[in-house]
Structures are given as structure tokens and as C-alpha cells.
Structure 1
Amino acid sequence: MDSIILRTFGVTKAYKNSNVLDGINMSIRRGQIYGLIGLNGAGKTTLMRVISGLVTNYNGNIELFGESNVEKIQKERSRMGCLIETPAPYYYKTVYENLEIERLHKGIPGKECIEKVLKLVDLVDFKDKKIKNLSVGTKQRVGIAMALLGDPEFLILDEPINGLDPVWIIEIRELLKRLNKEVGVTILISSHILEELHQLANCYGIIHKGKLIEQITDKELDEKCKKFLHIKVDNIPNATVILNTKLKTSNFTVLPNNIIKLHDYVDNSGTVAKLLFSEGIIVEEIMPMGDSLESYFSKVIGGVLDD
């Protein structure tokens, strides 16, 4: 878990004299599921394309599996699997034929790997169907299957649950968790469904207007988003004594301006207010607070989240 699979150093990419990526410094450790968050046009897909080698004309440097030499990085990319933008490029070929083309492209010996990934993402019944005749969600599953060919150590998935119904969103989430925990696959994933990403990732990078403005672990995020009771009182010393002695809790923090941040009794604000009032404490404000990943993201980028 301590080794770093990917580092980027000042990665910058411009299109038409405008920076799509602007000095990106990021790192992904082995075993992480790294959720990349950003609005449309923030640079998520371009960054993934740079990392995967689909974009080569950029400034800055990349280190992959400890290698920083361009030729060696290209060789190390054989240890990666990617789903970026188009799930399966050959629309008039079957699912199996697309997987076979990808197998040959990756230089993977034997066809057993195709049957393996077909079973993993439940595509056995679709293997002889042409891509053009599949639903959006099934095409996404084909893309994930292609990315999984060759048992990659590092997966890059750009919007992998796009178009999937709720049941398959859960299935893909559990598949990725299983690959991560049981096989040790490291995953870089983006998604507009931040609630879903919050259930999967254990580290996040927030990208906005081409800049990586924050990297945060799931524990740090949970601490920042933890639900609590915001209580403003007229007498902090007496209020804290009451919380300690009457409610038997010390799980609170005293903040400036006579505010207490109470992490217990979040769903019982009435009980807390009634007790404080009965003990002679004037409660000026009491309300449950805390951020979701969506609201935290919106707060960090300084705007309103708009899909």
C-alpha cells in the first residue's frame, strides 16, 4: 500500500492556446481506488488520456510503476487496463470479436482470458451480438471487460457506470471492490454520480478548470463531511458540563462564537435542546449539519454542482 503506482509532475496540456490541464501534480498509491471528481470540461478525461498514453503531446512528466523514462513507461502500460470514452470501437463486430481484437492488441496469449472477463461482467449471453445492437449500459460493460483483459494491476475507468441501470451500477461497484480487495488492483475512476463514487473510492482528487485543487483520503473526507449538531448557546462552560454529565458524552468540540459541534445525538436535536433549556441554557441555534460529497465538492470549487 505504500508504493506509488503513478505520479504526475506539472502535467500541462493546451488546446488552442488554452490549458485543459494546468500543472497537475498527483499521486496514486498501490491498492487505492482514486476517485477523480470534476465538472464537464474540467480536464478529467484529458488527464486519463495522458496517463494511458493516448495523448503524448503535453508538458510535464509522468512516473508509472516507478519508471519515468518515456520508453519504459510505454512498456509499463501493458500492466494497465483502460476504459476511456468509447467502450468498444468496432460497432459492426460482435462482443467476442471486439475482445479478441483487444487481446491481440495487448499481446495476451491464449483466448481463455476472453471467457474469463465475459463471465466477470455477465456478458456470456451477449458475446455473439454486434456492438451496434447493444444498449448503452451493455456497451459500457463491454468496455469494462476490454479493460480487464490481461488481469491489469492498474485500471483507468472514465465514467464506467454511464448508462447503467441501478442494479448494474451496484454490480459494477461490487466487482471493482472485489478486484481491489481480493486481487489488489489499483483503480483510477471518474464518475458524475458522486454518491456512488463515495461508496467506492478511498481517495479523491478534485480537478477544476484544469487544476488539481485538492487530494483527500476517504477518512479525511468523512471527517469533513461528518454529520453533527451545530449548537449555539449563551453559556459554553455550563453547556459542556451538562453534555458531559447529563448526556454522558464528550464527543463534541467547542468552537468560537459560543458554538458547540456535537457528534452524538445528531438525530435527536429536540432532546438536546430540551435538556439544555431545562438546565437554564439559552439555545440560540441548534441544527444538524454536515456535507455530502456533492456539497463538499461544490464548496471546494466555489460554485454549485451542475451535471
Structure 2
Amino acid sequence: MKKNTLFVFILIIALAALSACGNKPESGATPSPEGGSGSGSAPKEVTLKVGASAVPHAEILESVKDKLKAEGVTLEVKVFTDYILPNTQLSEKQLDANFFQHQPYLDQFNKDKGTKLTSVGGVHIEPFGGYSRKVKSVDEIKDGATVAIPNDPSNGGRALALLEKSGLIKLKEGVGVTGTAKDITENKKNLKIRELEAAMLPRVLDEVELALINTNYALEAKLVPAKDALFIEDKNSPYVNIIASREDNKNAEAVQKLIKALQTPEVKKFIEDKYQGSIIPAF
């Protein structure tokens, strides 16, 4: 009797398991009205996590959320206030992509950290500028004035190159945008170069005579680059801000949908209308 009861119990479990397997929908499939997956089913929805600076990067990403949603991609934007964590978290696969940097910065980061992050495509240029609350022109900058620049190599070199273009210093021939303070060969006004975290630069405007500030941080500080900068890079700047990803996911469908959504006439108009020349489309 016990054997028969055990046999029936095992049979019931087996039938239940078979029934469950038979009713389990195909992974990623959306049932058609007839109950099958159907060739006309909607694409499987995916979530794309992208790290970004608050302004303008996150704002530009927000402008394409609805378009991506219609294409089956739910865009999650995570805002960062520094230039390190977005790449660190991307490398560690906590993010699928990021949007805050230009190619020279990414190249330097990969070199310094041993990461293998890559550009998916360019979106816009943020002309780098020199700002002051103490003087209204370069000619008014006093002898011995303190000038603050970013402390990361790519943006620091960029700042020094802009100072040279503005006639404030001269750099060792050939260093271009890779120069450091040690490459200054002429400094007639005896400027004191102070290197700080890029995000800190708008906050020290009351302490220094001049600060070279990345446009995203200038905009966050309610500065208008096209109006407030004493001098600014022109539209031929090579520092295009890019969507970055990893080598293993740069060709992923969702990542490719993101860059295509960003490089459209609609986004170009959004950038031109919202930022009034402070940000320049690069596509």
C-alpha cells in the first residue's frame, strides 16, 4: 500500500512538472493575439544604464528617453559630479555606457587605469573658457595673479594651451594640449598656476583672479559661456564629448540605438535652442 501511495505521489509531481514546462513562455517573447510569439511581436524591452554629468549631458539624454522607449529601450540616467566614478563604474559593468568626457580624457584614463573603454560616437563640443569675477578682460589680470586650472592631465593641458592662445603664457614648443605647468617657458605676469579638481573650479572664482572651467561645470554654476567667459575655445575644438562604453558591449543593440537617437536633427535643434551657442552639436 505504501509503495502504491509513493508511486502515485511521484506520478503527480512528474505530471505537475511537465505541465509547468509546457506552459512556460519562450524567454523574451511577447505572445501574439493568437497565443503564440508571432513574427510581429514587439521587441524585448531592455534597460540601458548611462552615467552622465548633470549639465548638459543628463539633460541631452533626457531629451531622447521617449524615443528610446518607443524602440524598446528604457534609459536610466545616473548623474555624477566627478570625472572618475563614471568610468570606474562603466568598467565594472555597473553602467552600460557614460556621457561626460572627450576622447583625450578617455585615452588618458585608459592609460592610467588599465581600462579598455571605447568611444561609440560623438555628440557635442563644450568650448573651454576662462572666467573671472575680479577682472573684465585679460589685460586687467594683475602681476602675480592666481589662475586655477583642472588637475587632470587632459583638461589641464587644454587649459594651459588656451592660456597660451590668450597671450598669458608660452609653452614649450610642440607640447600642444599635453603640456603641464613645467612646460611653461614664458610667464610675463608671473601667474601662479593652481591645479584643482575640475568640479571645484566654479567654487573658487571668488578666491582666484582667473579660472579655466569645463563648460558643463560652468553651466551648473549658472555661468553663460558665450557671455561670461573672458576667452573661450572656438568651434574647431577637437574635444568632442562622446558616448563611451566597453569593448564587450559597444555594438550592443541598445547602445547603438542610443547613439543613433542622439545624432539626429531633433537633438541638434534641442542643443542649439537650449544652450544658445554655449554647447555646439558635433554631428
Q: Do the two structures share a fold, i.e. TM-score over 0.5?
A: no
| Bigger relative CO (Cα 8 Å, ≥ 6 apart) | 2
Report the TM-score range of the alignment, normalised by the length of the smaller protein.
under 0.3
* TM-score normalised over the length of structure 1: 0.25
Which is strand-richer, 1 or 2? 1
